[in-house]
Amino acid sequence: MNLSQRKFARMIGTGSYLPSKRVDNFELAQQLKLSGIETSDEWIFSRSGISARHFASSAEKTSDLAVLSAQRALDAAGLVAGDIDLIILATSTPDYLGGFPSTACVVQQKLGIQTQCAAFDIQAVCSGFIYGLHLADSLIQTGAHRRVLVIGAEVFSRILDFQDRATCVLFGDGAGAVILEASNAPGILSSALHADGKYSDILCIPGQVVDGRVAGSGFLTMDGQAVFKLAVKVLEQVGLEALEKAGLVANQIDWLVPHQANIRIMEGTAKKLGIANERVLVTLGQQGNTSAASIPLALDDGIRSGKVLRGQNLLLEGVGGGFTWGAACVRY
């Protein structure tokens, strides 16, 4: 099918939200020192590219962050909540233990959308937003839905072990949202998803719920070196796959919008794809790794800052626990 015959899912609004509590490396280092953990701004920044992150207050839930980002996306699109007929929410930190009711349903209720709107969560960790875009695009192409709200939202500060400086300095909280609408104009041009469960242990929360209690650890654990090596490899492969599906080459991409995990992963992926660092949207330094929220946060920042313009080609990429990874080519 050529582009003139295809129905597209087109981005018509984006929004994001960061909790008001900003924690820079100096403050975090002092907090960790009280627990006998030595670190510094230089140590954190040199290994990750992160200078600060935002942490949700004890009163803020994932759904609260998601609703604020969604409302901003609705405002940008010139829509009201009742115009949405599907909510897909990517998160690893749902409001409720066990993930039900889904945080997407909580968001639906908080937005005041009635039962004409379906809602569900997806769990692909840091790749979750890409998985959500893929699903939304597919459902719009079939005609099953017309306007889909895709959200990535996380409160990772709740699952961090502040005795483990290798992980607790990397993550932050936040939410980002995109509204997709059925259109005859090009929007999502292609997407590609992958997973490999044999790497499930290199990034996970190993605890389980047994008899209503957490058995084992409820904190995030990560083999940083293993994640780094795998991430750069699969992000190059899936980026090239998405480009080929879209009929594009790297020099036709105006902006690479990667999952904001680690500056070395981001720059290494861009180099392998042949995309200059100047064409990579980077929000990592002031936000940390916000998992499923990081891509829509970076995208919204790029649009609102005037960097991303209508008609430009974007390559979005994510990789996360599972192990999962994916990419999407988008004409904004």
**DSSP states of 161-208 as a string?**
-TT-HHHHTTB-EEEEEEEEEEESS--EEEEEEEE-GGGGGGEE---E
> Which one from 105, 117, 126, 329 is the annotated catalytic residue?
126
Query: What percent of the chain is helix, strand and coil (3-state, nearest 5)?
Result: 40, 25, 30
In terms of Cα–Cα distance, which of 131, 129, 97 is closest to 261? Answer: 129
Dihedral class, residue 234 (left if φ above 0, else alpha if ψ from -120 to 50, else beta):
alpha
pLDDT of residue 38: 93
Size of the chain, expressed as the number of residues it contains:
332
Out of 25, 117, 289, 329, pick the active-site residue. Answer: 289
Where residue 36 falls (left for φ over 0; alpha for ψ -120 to 50; beta otherwise) is left
Residue stretches of the chain with pLDDT short of 70? 1-5
Examine the residue annotation and report whether 259 is marked as an active-site residue of this protein: yes
- The pLDDT tens digits for 203-220 are 999 999 898 888 989 999
Distance, C-alpha 11 to centroid of its chain: 16
Tell me the three state secondary structure of residue 320.
strand
Residue 200 falls in which region: left (phi positive, over 0), alpha (psi -120 to 50) or beta = alpha
- Position 1 scores a pLDDT of 46
Whether residue 329 contacts residue 313, with contact meaning beta carbons closer than 8 Å, is answered with yes
Exposed / middle / buried, residue 212 (Cβ in 10 Å: 0-12, 13-18, 19+): exposed
- The pTM of the full predicted model, rounded to 2 decimals, is 0.96
Please say whether the beta carbons of 90 and 326 come within 8 A.
no
Closest CA to 253 of 282, 280, 284: 280
One of 54, 105, 259, 329 is an active-site residue; which one? Answer: 259
Coil vs helix vs strand at 15: strand
Q: Domains in the chain, please, with CATH?
A: 8-184 (3.40.47.10), 189-331 (3.40.47.10)
Q: What is the CA radius of gyration of the chain?
A: 19
Structure tokens at 138: 């597919």
pLDDT value at residue 35: 86
Whole-angstrom distance, CA of residue 104 vs CA of residue 94: 9
Model pLDDT, residue 4: 55
Residue 134 sits at φ, ψ, to 5 deg, of -60, -45
Whether 117 sits among the annotated catalytic residues: the reply is no
Q: How far apart are CA 40 and CA 76, in angstroms?
A: 39
